[in-house]
A and B are shown apart, each in its own frame.
Chain A
Amino acid sequence: MLANLAKKILPRSLWVYHCNSGACNGCDIEILNVLTPYYDVERFGIKVVGSPRHADVMLISGAVTRPTLPLVKRAYDAMPNPKLVFGIGSCTIGGNMWADSYNVCGGADQAVPVNYFVPGCPPRPEAIIYGVALALGLVPQQAAPVELKQMEFPIDMYERNKAWEDRNVIYELLK
């Protein structure tokens, strides 16, 4: 659904704005890496721009920290519509290991509505390209979304075994 929409509203070259909201640099160097000769996203018309006002897509990396929260919001507001947001890296999904630290607000969704997440710590350049291509409908989706249940902590042995079995059931379903 979103892929069709994205294809419709952003039919030509994507201009990407890269916004670091509190990442460790790992995701940032992989984002830069996709521009370099081995991956070269410019062949798909994807280009990194310096200003959010020129951008169609925001790549946000890292957990959102307290000082950057208003800044990320402002950068997002500066982008012209229609726009998409990609969360790059595990930290954007709920904040990863920093999630509840005193200076961290949480994942990227605390600041801006995120359309797609690319997990990984850091995600490989291939994963970033695949994520963007998937969003634009250039490649078929190859994995089904899986809903995982949040367990109460601490988990005792019985529940742990049960969770393991549940996980195997999910893998059976995926096959």
Chain B
Amino acid sequence: MATIQALTDQLKKKFGNAVTGVENPSATQLFIDFKKEKVREICNEVLAQGGRYLVSVGTDNLAKDGTLGLIHTFAFDKEHYFLSLRTATKESEPIESITPDIPNAGWSEREYMDLLGMKFTNHPKPKKLVTADDWPSDIYPLRKEVPFNIKPLAAENVAYQLDECPEGCSIVPFGPYHPTQHEPAHFALFVDGETIKGSDYRGFMIHRGVEKLAQTQISYNEIPFLAERICGICGSVHAASYSQAVEIAVGHKISRRAEYIRTIMLEIERVHSHLLWLGVAGHLIGFDTVFMQAWRVREPIMWLGERLTGNRKTYGMIVIGGVRRDITPELKQDILNVIGTIEKEMITIKNAIIGDTAIHRRTKDVGYVSTEDTIKWSLVGPVARARNVDIDVRRDMPYAAYDEMKFSVPVVDCNDVWGTVLVRVLETFEAISIIRQALDKMPNDGPILTPFEDAVPAGMHGITAVEAPRGEVTHYVITGEENRPERWRVRAPTYPNLQGVPMMLLNNQLADVPIIIGSIDPCFSCTERMEVVDLRNGGMKVMSQSELEALSRNKR
């Protein structure tokens, strides 16, 4: 058990003067400042104490003290707190990469190479990640002196900087526009025959500069609406997460009723998203009946969302300090009716899916990742829970009204795509039960919106996580001057999960690629970034071009 006290003592004892400051503003937040030379040792020690890597946050303090800040964040699930390790480096000095030990940090670090111009030593893959291929390498858009609307001239026909194909394999391009993918992202699949021996990813095509816009253009109270448009499917999650991060940073309390309404909205969104995913998964394995039926069952939830909030999606419901609309007794009855019908239909769908051998054959043993690898790569959400990793921030780090809800977290040990199907179906029932409990226990009084009374003080840090349908969303906020955050970092669940996709694809059949990528419920617009990861095995048959030509001629 690494409680806050035990962990602080341990780090101070082991690293002595390298730890320069400890802050513990509330029971769930621990901030430790340290000198950058020890970054790798400290992160390893935190991992050994049971920390789970979340995300790194890069900040620009050049105007203040001439440094670039870097914050590695970890979650201690059993002890219910977040740890943020803060350090800083001079602009010209490199900092040691933690990616060799924590593979999931690879994207975060590459992101700050692109956006802030940080330098990392020992990074296994220091390639471009976020900015476009024709983006000039000396403009770092997240730095404060760079205007938000800078538009360097575009170059034409710039090729993706993909990995080299291993010998004996051929490249199958997948995307950017592919029938099974509804968002642009490019995968280069290295195949030997039909078997995938490696892959490379170039995404971040939907990078819209959300963080930069929030930090330069709009104010605290407008950001929830920007946050909702990060993702059209799990928008409330981002709004809730951002609002919570600001509330935690400045210690603002909201009413209990507002927290209950947030809980209900988040769970309604989960029901809608899981049904949506179920349909899309059916479509990806060529089983369109599942698609049609799941979306038919889902439609009343969209209508319910419209009655509750005024819009079918992108609710605009959750703002800093509470929620915008109340749930009246009539709407309460309405919600109960709708989820009652959905529960009945879900039982039918569940039985149909569990009894369908075609779905079993397409999903079982596909996309296998061992439990150890899942933990090592810090995968989250249903993807991790299908691989026997028992994490759920609703239970581990209760937010909104989840501390009073009774629910189970479905965890299965299939380690494959079938497991993710099961977890999502079971979670839908849990979500329905949570909505019922929340409606039952919701207090009848209290304001739904508690606005700030004073200006938000600058320089406060806050981190929070919210369990989105596809995994956990982590938001880190540093409050700033001019009524807007100085830094706002969004980590969507697809961000870590997509880094695990090459591992899932390895040694699978080419035909299973859509469902494997689909199984993480990818949301590239949340992730908004791009990456290149490769995993290959050696020992493949090598054939020269002339040999291949000879072979094909002989066949004929």
Contacts and interface: CB of A to CB of B under 8 A. Distances in A.
Interface of A: 18-30, 32-33, 36-38, 50-52, 62-63, 65-71, 75, 96-98, 100-104, 121-122, 124
B313 A36 contact: no
B314 A121 contact: yes
A103 B313 contact: no
CB-based closest 3 A-B pairs = A26-B232, A50-B179, A36-B295
B226 A97 contact: yes
A151 B23 CA distance: 49
A138 to B, nearest CB: 23
Contacts of B209: 98, 101-104
Interface stretch (B28-36, B77-85, B149-157): B149-157
Contacts of A36: 279, 291-292, 295-296, 299
Contacts of A71: 176-177, 184, 205
B314 A98 contact: no
Contacts of B232: 23-29, 122
Interface of B: 131-135, 141, 146, 148-151, 154, 156-157, 176-179, 182-184, 204-209, 212-213, 226, 229-233, 235, 276, 279-280, 291-292, 295-296, 299, 302, 311-314, 523, 525
A65 B208 contact: yes
A25 B233 contact: yes
A27 B314 CA distance: 10
B156 A101 contact: no
Given A36-B296, A71-B205, A97-B229, 14 more contacts: A20-B183, A20-B184, A26-B232, A29-B313, A33-B302, A36-B299, A37-B296, A50-B178, A65-B205, A65-B207, A101-B149, A102-B141, A102-B209, A103-B132
A38 B206 CA distance: 30
Contacts of A38: 296, 299
A67 B141 CA distance: 16
A32 B206 CA distance: 19
B208 A63 contact: yes
B312 A122 contact: yes
Contacts of B311: 121
Q: What secondary structure prevails in chain B residues at the interface with A? A: loop
B380 to A, nearest CB: 19
A96 B210 CA distance: 13
Nearest to A69: B154
A23 B525 contact: yes
Contacts of B141: 102-103
Nearest to B209: A101
B183 A25 contact: yes
Nearest to B206: A22
Contact of A20 (B134, B182, B295, B302): B182
B270 to A, nearest CB: 15
Contacts of A19: 177
B206 A30 contact: no
Contacts of A22: 184, 205-206, 208, 525
Contact of A101 (B148, B184, B231): B148
A24 B204 CA distance: 13
B182 A18 contact: yes
A22 B150 CA distance: 18
22 contacts: A21-B184, A22-B206, A23-B525, A24-B230, A24-B232, A25-B231, A26-B233, A29-B233, A36-B279, A36-B291, A36-B292, A37-B296, A65-B205, A67-B133, A67-B204, A68-B206, A75-B177, A97-B229, A102-B141, A103-B132, A122-B232, A122-B313
Contacts of B313: 26, 29-30, 122
Contacts of B134: 66
Nearest to A17: B177
A120 B209 CA distance: 22
A70 B154 CA distance: 10
Contacts of A25: 182-183, 231-233, 523, 525
Contacts of A21: 184
